[in-house]
Each structure stands twice: as structure tokens, then as C-alpha cells.
Amino acid sequence: MKVVVLHYRSYMTSLSMRKLRDEQGNTYWGIDEDTRERLRAKLMQSVLAFKI
């Protein structure tokens, strides 16, 4: 499981990039942690459900 998650880590990070705003209203690109964790959980569920 760890190997699979490490393999897809950069891809999940790129999929979770969003435009975020700080307190002053400036916009910047950042990682949406909720999205990244959902992607990670979905990957882990799919790996466990995969039938060989």
C-alpha cells in the first residue's frame, strides 16, 4: 500500500492544486489538503477492492 501511495503522491498533489486566497485577498496556487486526502483515501480503497 505504501509503495502505491508513494508512486501516485505527485499526481495526487498536482490534482489537488487550487487557487487559494489569503487574508489580504491575494490569490496564489496551493495544495487543497482536503482534496488530497480524499484522493489518497479513494486510491487506498480502490487498491483494497482490486481483485487479482
pLDDT in tens, 28-43: 999 999 999 999 999 9
Cell numbers 483515501 correspond to 41
Q: What is the mean pLDDT of residues 5-25?
A: 94
Q: Where are the alpha helices (DSSP H) in 1-52?
A: 2-15, 33-49
pLDDT of residue 33: 94
Displacement of CA 16 from its chain's centroid (Å): 5
Q: Note if the pTM is more than 0.75.
A: yes
- Residue 52, pLDDT > 90, answer no
Closest CA to 29 of 10, 14, 12: 14
Partners of 27 in the β-ladder? 21
